[in-house]
Amino acid sequence: MAGNRMVVIGMGYVGIPAAVLFADVPGFEVTGIQRNSKRSGWKIDYLNKGLSVLRFLPQNQGSLIL
């Protein structure tokens, strides 16, 4: 599976866990995309800082999604 690329659109309650699961598979490169809007653009800053945007994932585990 070398060289497989995946794009997950929407870094919310479905997109982040899906991206994490596929990123953990050897040979997959995963990119997450989030729209920079007034309602959900804050997620971009959180994710870039290694912080979790999911309430059920503790802040100190945000590095799992980078």
User: What is the pLDDT, as a whole number, of residue 1?
Assistant: 47
User: What is the pLDDT, as a whole number, of residue 41?
Assistant: 85
In tens, the pLDDT along 26-45 reads 998 999 999 999 888 888 88
Domain positions in the chain are: 4-56
Give the Å distances, CA to CA, from 8 to 18, 20, 50. Answer: 8, 10, 18
In tens, the pLDDT along 1-30 reads 457 999 999 988 899 889 888 888 899 899
Distance CA 13, CA 65 (A): 13
Which residues have CB under 8 Å from 16's CB, separation 6+?
32, 53, 54, 65
Between 27 and 58, where is the model more confident?
27
User: What is the pLDDT, as a whole number, of residue 50?
Assistant: 82
